[in-house]
């Protein structure tokens, strides 16, 4: 399994870091078999798997339940788990307790927290306690209602400067990497140059040290909204639709199951059965 030291080395050597989200045993298995560098159990879980329209209803228990399945499917991959909305904004000691519980119960390697500012103290606390923290800056889905929706961030010079400051503050607080979501690629380039720790972009252009995409987005599986920056690498949804419709039709038509797909019994037993 790779470590945070390996990710630092990958940055200095210019080797791209591949991160993907996973939410259950099969998505974790596919991800580990594809040799991704890190798996994120994202709270995007709420949208792509649980059918909510934002990440805000996702609970600590939801994250733990799904992360355990991901760990069972990806025993040798570095796993980052999102701390969900509301689980790290109150008393930092409570946040630490929650973080310890999430790590202990899931066997994850790191936790991801959105934002800087007030959250910096929590990043410090977790890191000091031995829990690696991945920061998340730019578009913060857990704050979408305050940010005025899912919009590109860091487009003005004030916003851009703030983001650079925040990124450095996260690094100083002990973060081992920072996810940059939905910011102009030029800003990603600057932040990536200024930081020692790796940047992992999503909708942030090609100049980050790594990339992350939502599993269901990149294989086009599901009926949630897919953002414009996503590339579709396969069309799983179409195949699933074909399968489920085909099965339904075959049962209705009586073409499934056939006798070849059925079990039989010995002749002697049959005579007693049919009389």
Interacting span for ligand KIV (CB under 6 A) from 37-45, 59-67, 165-173, 228-236: 37-45
Query: Judged by CB under 6 A, does residue 209 bind ligand KIV?
Result: no
How far, CA to CA in Å, does 131 sit from each of 43, 48, 107, 127, 192?
19, 27, 12, 5, 23
- Binding residue for ligand KIV (CB under 6 A) from 214, 216, 219, 221? 214
**Which residues 146-185 are close enough to bind ligand KIV by CB under 6 A?**
179, 181
Minimum gap (Å) between residue 16 Cβ and ligand KIV: 16
User: Closest CB to ligand KIV belongs to which residue?
Assistant: 42
Catalytic, out of 32, 158, 181, 260: 181
Binding partner of residue 18 among ligand KIV, Na ion, none, CB cut-off 5 to 8 Å per kind: none
To the query of whether residue 181 is one of the catalytic residues in this protein, the response is yes
Minimum gap (Å) between residue 45 Cβ and ligand KIV: 7
- Residues touching ligand KIV: how many (CB under 6 A)? 12
**Which residues 31-60 are close enough to bind Na ion by CB under 5 A?**
42-43
Question: Is the Cβ of residue 57 or residue 190 nearer to Na ion in the bound state?
Answer: 57
Question: Is the Cβ of residue 152 or residue 190 nearer to Na ion in the bound state?
Answer: 152
Active site residues: 181
Q: Which parts of this chain interact with Na ion (CB under 5 A)?
A: 42-43, 82
Q: Which parts of this chain interact with ligand KIV (CB under 6 A)?
A: 21, 40, 42-44, 82, 136, 179, 181, 202, 212, 214
């Amino acid at each position: 399994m790779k470590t945070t030291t390996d990710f630092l080395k990958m940055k200095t050597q210019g080797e791209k870091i591949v991160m993907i989200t996973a939410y259950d045993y099969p998505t974790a298995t596919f991800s580990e078999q594809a040799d991704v560098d890190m798996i994120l159990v994202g709270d995007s879980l709420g949208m792509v798997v649980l059918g909510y329209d934002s990440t805000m209803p996702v609970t600590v228990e939801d994250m733990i339940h799904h992360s355990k399945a991901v760990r069972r499917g990806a025993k040798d991959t570095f796993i980052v788990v999102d701390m969900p909305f509301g689980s790290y904004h109150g008393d930092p000691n409570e946040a630490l307790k929650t973080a310890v519980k999430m790590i202990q119960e899931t066997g994850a390697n790191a936790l991801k927290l959105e934002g800087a500012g007030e959250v910096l103290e929590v990043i410090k606390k977790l890191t000091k306690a031995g829990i690696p923290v991945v920061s998340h800056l730019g578009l913060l889905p857990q704050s979408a209602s305050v940010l005025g929706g899912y919009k590109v961030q860091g487009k003005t010079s004030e916003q851009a400067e703030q983001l650079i400051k925040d990124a450095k503050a996260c690094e100083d607080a002990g973060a081992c990497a920072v996810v940059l979501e939905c910011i102009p690629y030029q800003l990603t380039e600057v932040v990536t140059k200024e930081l020692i720790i790796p940047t992992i972009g999503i909708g942030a252009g090609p100049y980050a040290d790594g990339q992350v995409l939502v599993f269901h987005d990149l294989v086009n599986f599901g009926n949630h909204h897919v953002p414009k920056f996503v590339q579709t690498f396969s069309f799983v949804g179409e195949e699933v639709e074909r399968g489920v419709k085909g099965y339904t039709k075959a049962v209705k038509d009586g073409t499934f199951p056939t006798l070849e797909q059925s079990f039989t019994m010995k002749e002697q037993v049959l005579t007693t059965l049919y009389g």
